[in-house]
Amino acid sequence: MSQIVTFGEVLMRLSPPGNRKFIQSNRLEFYFGGTELNVGISIANFGGRVKHISCISDDFIGNTAISYLNKFDVDTSSIVRSSRPLGVYFLEVGAVMRPSAISYNRSHSSFSEIEASMVDWDSSLKDATWFHWTGITPALCKGAYETLKEGLILARKKGITVTADPTYRSGLWKYGKDAKSTLSELLEYSTIFIGGVNEINEVLGTDYGYSNEDFIEASKLLIEKYPSIEKVFDKIRTSLNSSWHKIRARMWNGKEFRESEDLDITHVVDRIGTGDAFAAGLIFGLQHYEDYKAMEFGSAACALKHTYEGDVNFATVKEVEAILEGNTTGRLKR
């Protein structure tokens, strides 16, 4: 059976309840997340078969993380273990004009110990028909970059669809490699680009603006430079403040430009992982619908994710489709 494979760090998220700060609390809530894992679990919740590959601590925290993945029926058989602790991030959830704040403890985590020799890509990708990667992984450490690159080489050799979400985060990239050239190299193995003009500018060294015209131009140039890439999908967030967002998406699939309607998220419950929910919805959508509906599915999935606490999108296909059919008034389901 065909599998979607994700590869990346699993982090423990620790946050005080509600809008509390750590200084105000002696209780925390915890979840497990990580940008690629969030994509994987969300697709599993849509009913897709998903495997996640990672390097996880060999202690009761790591056991808890693996049982968390099992809970969502994500295949954990290719996960390797390490004596280092699992990466952690601390989150204070903002509201209105107060931004949420994150502090990481990941630079010497179990995942930071990964090396290409630890993952057996042949067996890991045996049933894979899709591979998803993000710019976070190669930004973490040399071993992660090299492991990912090996996986991508094999994925391309097998003709697997490869989605790239080359998010550039300036707080990372501390181990010596350069973001621009590294992401460029990895895009050579990718077939679908999830990102907007910021990411394209970062990779191409251009300075396109946010207009639809610029997006189309940028996408065309990207595809020209990276011929393996066939389509570009971009999610656009407009934030009134921490508690009120709007989401829409646009795409250039090599043939046409399309843009979806704004979805109005008037009361954000949890904003973490919403970009991952878009990627997951898009990937699932591209497997089941034509491009425009796939993008709309991603956009609606992203909007729904804002209503779940934690990093994970729990939305089902039926729930996302209800929004595509215009049922956004939240009528009680008995």
Contact positions with its own copies (CB under 8 A) in 227-286: 239-244, 263-269, 271
Among 94, 150, 259, 324, binds its own copies (CB under 8 A): 94
The answer to whether the beta carbons of residues 278 and 301 sit under 8 Å apart is yes
> Residue 105, Cβ neighbours under 10 Å: how many?
15
Burial of 318 (0-12, 13-18, 19+ CB in 10 A): exposed
DSSP 164-184: EE----TT---SS--HHHHHH
Shortest distance, CB of residue 271 to its own copies, whole angstroms?
7
Stretches 2-10, 61-69, 144-152, 207-215: which one binds its own copies (CB under 8 A)?
A: 61-69
Shortest distance, CB of residue 325 to its own copies, whole angstroms?
12
Decide whether 123 or 328 has the Cβ nearer to its own copies.
328
By CB under 8 A, the residues from 114 to 173 that bind its own copies are: 169, 171
Q: What gap in Å lies between CA 283 and CA 46, rounded to an integer?
A: 11
Does residue 318 belong to the site contacting its own copies (CB under 8 A)? no
Number of chain residues interacting with its own copies (CB under 8 A): 83
Decide whether 39 or 304 has the Cβ nearer to its own copies.
304
Stretches 93-101, 122-130, 155-163, 210-218: which one binds its own copies (CB under 8 A)?
A: 93-101
- Evaluate the CA torsion angle 201, 149, 157, 292 in order and state its sign: negative
Give the single-character DSSP code of 295: H
Among 95, 220, 224, 288, binds its own copies (CB under 8 A): 95
Least Cα distance to 162 among 197, 188, 132, 198 occurs for: 132
Does residue 21 belong to the site contacting its own copies (CB under 8 A)? yes
Shortest distance, CB of residue 87 to its own copies, whole angstroms?
9
The answer to whether the beta carbons of residues 268 and 284 sit under 8 Å apart is no
Decide whether 96 or 153 has the Cβ nearer to its own copies.
96
- Classified as helix, coil or strand, 247 is strand
Decide whether 74 or 152 has the Cβ nearer to its own copies.
74
> Residue 70, Cβ neighbours under 10 Å: how many?
11
Decide whether 109 or 161 has the Cβ nearer to its own copies.
109
Shortest distance, CB of residue 78 to its own copies, whole angstroms?
15
Tokens found for residue 269 = 């419950």
